[in-house]
Amino acid sequence: MRRRSFVTLSAAGVCSVLAGCGRDKDGFNMRDAPRGPIILGFSQVGAEGGWRKANTASIKKAAERNRIDLNFKDAGGDPERQIADVHSFIDAKVSVIAFAPVVETGWGEVLRRARDAKIPVVLTDRLIDEPDTSLWASSIGAEFAAEGNLAALYLENDYTAAQQTVNVVQILGVAGATPTKQRAEGFAATAAKGGRLKIIDEETGDWTKDGGKDAMTKLLRRNKRIDAVFAQNDDMGLGAVIALEAVGKEPGKEPKIVTVDGTKAALEGLIAGKLNYVVECSPEIGEPLMAVVVDLFHGGRVQKQIRSEKAVFDPQNAADEIADRTY
């Protein structure tokens, strides 16, 4: 695969040390490693778009390749259902529990129960709002604030000669989710520092294409001048394109659009000139997750945080990547 990207933040490799016990600031050691087959209980947040489906496919494929028995459940975007899923994994006495949290809060009780049962927990894609960080062994996923930073940085570069403030609207993901909060915070921080971008309005799109279309429609009704759109994922950005074209706008020009994820559909949107920038957030975390699961099963020490690969694509370099895009 050949990639030309403006910025690449390389993923941290999984560093395991299969000796020693106890905890330290660099990682987590599981005491009394179990015997027998490795069973992973995984609760997925849902299947709301192409990115999430690719994430699920990566996990299932990697589990099969590594001969790990996968107990997979789909929470369907329901926080209570997901907590019930984790309780069921504890009852089933799985080897390791992993999940992509629907929301950040409400995890203390069930994760303390997992700890009492000596079942290590791994967070994927998202984080949780829990002060006791000993409740999970590792987190695998993106730096959402950095994605927001990059979206604002590359968008702002297009307006270096602007004579007036650039009016930006945001299409947000699900309320209460880590990427929703941190991508917004990162974008706002970089926009404030540069001074050209002014966030004038926002609307929730719930991570879906239809949600992005509806959100953009509402934003157009409320705002006379929109110069740019920051959609927190590709599906919502592509939905915004539909809404903009329906009222005679020319997305990619009026307004410019930046999204996050890096799906094949978004790269096609870049090449067609309907999107301007796409910040990558790779869903393919299956292999790093299985490496962590194996190490935990054998009592090894794993990194507390493992970051996924990131790049930024525009209409030119998208053509170099799209042939190899699997999601």
Structure tokens at 225: 């001048």
Q: What is the mean pLDDT of residues 301-321?
A: 89
Q: How far apart are CA 170 and CA 186, in angstroms?
A: 12
Q: Is a pLDDT exceeding 50 seen at residue 275?
A: yes
Segment 65-97, tens digit of pLDDT: 999 999 999 999 999 999 999 999 999 999 999
113: helix, coil or strand? Answer: helix
CB atoms inside a 10 Å sphere around CB 134? 11
Strand partners, 321: none
Identify which of 168, 184, 165 has the alpha carbon closest to the alpha carbon of residue 176: 184
Superfamily of domain covering 8-141+283-307: Response regulator (3.40.50.2300)
pLDDT of residue 163: 85
Identify which of 103, 35, 96 has the alpha carbon closest to the alpha carbon of residue 71: 96
CA distance readout (Å), 192 to 114, 165, 255, 313: 42, 12, 20, 23
pLDDT of residue 145: 93
Q: What is the mean pLDDT of residues 190-198?
A: 94
pLDDT of residue 172: 98
Of residues 325 and 239, more confidently modeled: 239
Q: Is a pLDDT exceeding 60 seen at residue 29?
A: no
Identify which of 87, 106, 100 has the alpha carbon closest to the alpha carbon of residue 281: 100
Q: Is a pLDDT exceeding 60 seen at residue 32?
A: no
pLDDT of residue 169: 98
Q: Is a pLDDT exceeding 60 seen at residue 176?
A: yes
SS3 string, 211-223, reads: HHHHHHHHHHHHC
pLDDT of residue 35: 57
Confidence of residue 10 (pLDDT cuts 50, 70, 90): very low
Structure tokens at 135: 């409740």
Q: What is the mean pLDDT of residues 193-222?
A: 96
The angle at the Cα of 275, spanning 151 to 150, to the nearest 5 degrees, equals 10
Q: Which residues neighbour 215 within 8 Å (Cβ) at sequence distance 6 or greater?
A: 171, 172, 203, 204, 205, 236, 239, 240
Residue 231 · residue 257 · CB < 8 Å: yes
47: helix, coil or strand? Answer: coil
Give 119-171 as a DSSP string. --EEEESS----S-GGG-SEEEE--HHHHHHHHHHHHHHTTTT-SS-EEEEEE
Task: Report the run of H or E that residue 261 belongs to, with start and end.
Answer: strand 256-261
Position 109, amino acid = E
Distance of CA 312 to the CA centre of its chain: 15
Q: Is a pLDDT exceeding 50 seen at residue 30?
A: no
Q: Which of 142-146, 194-198, 259-263 has the lowest mean pLDDT?
A: 142-146
| pTM score, whole prediction | 0.77
Place of tokens 């106890």: 22
Q: Is a pLDDT exceeding 60 seen at residue 2?
A: no
Q: Is a pLDDT exceeding 80 seen at residue 24?
A: no
Mean pLDDT of the chain: 88
Residue ranges of the chain assigned to CATH 3.40.50.2300: 8-141+283-307, 144-280
- pLDDT over 90 for what percent of the chain? 73
The total number of residues shown for the chain amounts to: 327
Q: Which of 37-41, 95-99, 242-246, 323-327 has the lowest mean pLDDT?
A: 323-327
Q: Is a pLDDT exceeding 50 seen at residue 271?
A: yes
Segment 133-149, tens digit of pLDDT: 999 999 998 789 999 99
Structure tokens at 239: 């939905």
pLDDT of residue 6: 37
- Classified by CATH at the fold level, domain 144-280 comes out as Rossmann fold (3.40.50)
CA distance readout (Å), 298 to 29, 66, 99, 150, 295: 10, 14, 20, 38, 5
Residue 5 φ/ψ, nearest 5 degrees:
-130, 150
For the chain, give the longest Cα–Cα distance: 67
